[in-house]
Amino acid sequence: MSNEQTFYNEILDYLILQLNSNFQAMGKKYLITGATGELKKGIDKLIKDKSIFPSLFLTVFADAVAPLDLDIFIVIMNAKGLFEILICEIKDLKAVGLKELSQLIGYCLISDSKLGLLINVDGQISPRLTTILHNNPDITNITRIVGVHQGKAKEELDLHEHNLGVMKWNSITKRIEYSNAGKISSIPKLCELISNYLE
Amino acid sequence: MNNDKAYLLGLIIGGGIINPTKSNLIIVLPYKRWGKVISNPIRAGKIASDILLKVKPVFENEYDISVTFNPEPEWSIVCTGNLEKLTDDLHKFGIVNGGELRKNAGIENLIPYLCDENLKRQFIAGLADSIGSVVNSHRRFNDDYQIISFEFSGDNFRLVFEICQLLNEIKCFADQILWNHPNQHSGNDRYYGHYYGTWKKGFKIRVLLDQYTKKGSFVFNAKLEAAKENIEKEKTEEHEANSCLDRRINVNGIKPVHIDEDNFWIPKNLRGYHFVHHKHLCAMFGCPYVPKNQLKPILDNLECYITPFTVITKARVDQINKILESEEVLKNRTYTKYEVKVEKLIEIYKRDPNTLIWGNSKDKSGYPVNKVLQALAAVLSMESRTSRGKRTSGNFIRSIEDAISNDTIKHINIYMPDKLTPIKILGTNFGALVGPENPGVYKKLIEKDSEFGYKVRAIREEDFE
């Protein structure tokens, strides 16, 4: 087991706790659950374990999504069965850079997840990535045009959003710390985004 | 409300001072020597990094406020920019948005917004980072019980009560609350803080540190690391604190009715009342966690736990005289110099330190021999200028025995009043008063006006009859 893997569960628990708490404070009733590992199988298991309601939207997604080995994914579902997936890429490096962010972007594009967090355990964000994110905030707020290859007319094309953030996990205090880099700059901002998508 | 706001509000209520023009907010972190750059530069570096890497991004995210810090003269977080969003929130949560918040804020309206245990924990984390002291001298008796002490100055009793409730809700049970009340800060001397010194030493909510680190939270690495260092000193396994409801109330000995019990500074709902225990004050606030079944038997026999006089007062001779002039019953007394065989008192003390002397055993009245000897030792010590403040250094019996053997005791005289009022022990420059126990008489002074509201009126000549 790599060093970063030892933190998966505590980070997962922490994020679920904070999301639950913030949604409760916002007056939102969402079902929140998550897992570590492969996304497709993971969702199937969550459904089988009755950790989440097998809404049509979710089962269709689980059937269609490509197998992806993720560090952490969290499913947030509303009462109608609409859901969002947050993908977390965990690193245990001195500093994370563009390479690690690119990996997360790739996962989000492939799984069509709107939300992604790059979390470095007790480490930093490289100065180069910090500069890029500050000078070019759009990098963590990507809008993808979907349907071009299917020959859809321009007005029928879908726009899919992907929002990313870069944070740190403090293994001493067992808390997420912010770098304020990226579209998702804090957990409350993440909750606002999710809530906007699910309403 | 969200997790970050809850944390910031804890931090702000703990140390926030809002400039009257609302142009800046300073969060004072009263770390004193613990965080001093000169005495502990490594820790100071960690505090600085905690402020910049943890507090700053949260403030920027939530309130668009920029953050910097000052390490001297006291650590402070300086927030500048447009405070409108923040002051709007403080207003919304019913927190007075001006001046030193810890002294005048209430969180009654904020609590409903802290709608689950996690948000309460985040709020408490903010308080812990600001006013939660983890100085290694905070212990219960010895190193085995390390404490985090939430410290408040001023007269904001209500805030202390509300925070203790929140701590209870996240299962960080208070080991003890020290209320900023004369019955708490002056448990022996009726006059302390009135003629000399001050009893206004602040509030402390003391929580067992291993309980807090398990159930509570810190954001500052500097605090958590110091807490862990302290916990390492504990020799036994982790301690599980009990809820107040499951704790025993011990009241040891009698306490004086303090002359400042009706001080205007004390909030109206507490003013004029006497309190035998910190949980008695909690009961007056209607705390649901007070073990009433333990408190009530004590209050039913309050006369055994109080004296309208001092228990022991140590002061300069001129201050002693001033005190004796200040109250009718004391002023009316005639004192006679009393030839005491101190060796005999020591003998009585060694048999039973709680023995009452010079009273009436049938009424259970008299002067506690341990207090008489403590006072004697204190006067000897103050006269020879060896006392630390008014405390006798070392074993007080040994210091009296030394004084007997080198004959310095002859300079100290004991004066007996014509009624059971305090005796005078006088040296050349310093003296002491020791009050008697006399439950039969003291019972007449007690007035109960509510379930936990007990007032003790001043003693009058006719009460002795």
Give the pLDDT of residue A157.
82
Amino acid type, B356: L
* Closest residue on chain B to A18 (Cα): B3
Contact between B171 and B146 under an 8 Å Cβ cutoff? The reply is: no
Burial code (b: 16+ CB inside 10 Å, e: under 16) for A46-67 equals: bbeeeebeebeebeebbeebee
Residue A35's DSSP bridge partners are: A73
B245-249 CB contacts, 8 Å cutoff, 24+ apart: B245/B289, B245/B290, B245/B291, B246/B291, B247/B291, B248/B291, B248/B294, B249/B277, B249/B279, B249/B291, B249/B294, B249/B295, B249/B298
Mean residue pLDDT of chain B comes to 89
Q: Calculate how close chain A gets to B153, using CA atoms only, in Å.
A: 28
CA dihedral A67, A73, A76, A82 (to 10 degrees): -10
* Closest residue on chain B to A188 (Cα): B2
Residue A143's DSSP bridge partners are: A161
Contact between B207 and B175 under an 8 Å Cβ cutoff? The reply is: yes
Helix (H) or strand (E) holding A182: strand A175-182
**Nearest residue, CB atoms, A25 vs list B2, B60, B219:** B2
Nearest one of B170, B267, B155 to B201, comparing CA atoms: B155
**Best of A10, A20, A22, A192 to mutate (most B CBs within 10 Å, chain B):** A22
Cβ contact, residue pair A25, B1, below 8 Å: yes
In this predicted model, which residue has the larger pLDDT, B241 or B364? B364
Nearest-5° Cα angle at A108, A103 to A114: 145
Q: Which of residues 157-196 of A touch B (CB under 8 A)?
A: 170, 172-173, 175, 177-180, 185-189, 191
Contact between B61 and A180 under an 8 Å Cβ cutoff? The reply is: yes
Cβ contact, residue pair B219, A185, below 8 Å: no
Strand order across the beta sheet in which B99-100 lies: B66-70, B75-80, B24-29, B16-18, B99-100
Rounded percentage of chain B residues whose pLDDT exceeds 90:
62
Give the pLDDT of residue B195.
84
Q: CA A4 to CA A171: how far, in whole Å?
A: 11
**Nearest residue, CB atoms, A25 vs list B53, B58, B113:** B113
Q: CA B260 to CA B395: how far, in whole Å?
A: 31
CA separation, residue B461 to residues A162, B259, B304, B419, B421 (Å): 85, 18, 20, 9, 11
Give the pLDDT of residue A9.
95
Looking at domain B3-241, which of 3.30.56.10, 3.30.70.20, 3.10.28.10, 3.30.300.90 is its CATH number?
3.10.28.10
Mean pLDDT over B239-252 rounds to: 83
What residue segments make up the domains of chain B, in order of their start? Answer: 3-241, 310-435
**Nearest residue, CB atoms, A21 vs list B3, B58, B217:** B3
Give the pLDDT of residue B382.
87
Give the position of tokens 């447009």: B82
* Closest residue on chain A to B116 (Cα): A21
Cβ contact, residue pair B61, A188, below 8 Å: yes
Lowest mean pLDDT among A88-97, B99-108, B201-210: B99-108
Q: pLDDT tens-digit profile of B365-374?
A: 999 999 999 9
Question: Hey, is A148 helix, strand or coil?
Answer: helix
Reported pTM? 0.90
Fill in the DSSP letter of residue A16.
H
pLDDT at B388 over 60: no
Mean pLDDT over B294-321 rounds to: 94
Cβ contact, residue pair B3, A185, below 8 Å: no
Tell whether ipTM is more than 0.95. Answer: no
Nearest one of B308, B314, B441, B294 to B383, comparing CA atoms: B314
**Nearest residue, CB atoms, B219 vs list A26, A173, A191:** A173
Cβ contact, residue pair A173, B53, below 8 Å: no
Q: pLDDT tens-digit profile of B259-275?
A: 999 999 999 999 999 99
Cβ contact, residue pair B116, A188, below 8 Å: no
Angle in degrees, 0-180, between the axes of helices B56-63 and B3-15, rounded to the nearest 10: 110
Give the pLDDT of residue B138.
67
Q: Calculate how close chain A gets to B71, using CA atoms only, in Å.
A: 22
Q: pLDDT tens-digit profile of B389-414?
A: 556 556 888 888 888 888 777 778 89
pLDDT at B387 over 60: no
Mean pLDDT over B63-91 rounds to: 91
Contact list, A180 vs chain B (CB under 8 Å):
57, 60-61
Q: CA A111 to CA B216: how far, in whole Å?
A: 37
Q: CA A157 to CA A147: how far, in whole Å?
A: 5
User: Terminus-to-terminus CA distance in chain B, angstroms?
Assistant: 64
Report the 10 Å Cβ neighbour count for B150.
Answer: 25
Going residue by residue through chain A, which has 199 residues, state the pLDDT in tens, using 9 for 90 and above: 568 889 999 999 999 999 999 999 999 999 999 999 999 999 999 988 888 888 888 888 988 888 899 999 999 999 999 999 999 999 999 999 999 999 999 999 999 999 999 999 999 999 999 999 988 888 999 998 887 787 778 788 888 999 999 999 999 999 999 998 899 999 999 999 999 999 8
Contact list, A189 vs chain B (CB under 8 Å):
61
User: Could you tell me the two tokens for B173?
Assistant: 């049970």
Cβ contact, residue pair B5, A21, below 8 Å: no
Q: Is the CB of residue B119 less than 8 Å away from at least one CB of chain A? A: yes
pLDDT at B289 over 70: yes
Report the 10 Å Cβ neighbour count for B301.
Answer: 11
Q: pLDDT tens-digit profile of B117-132?
A: 999 999 999 999 999 9
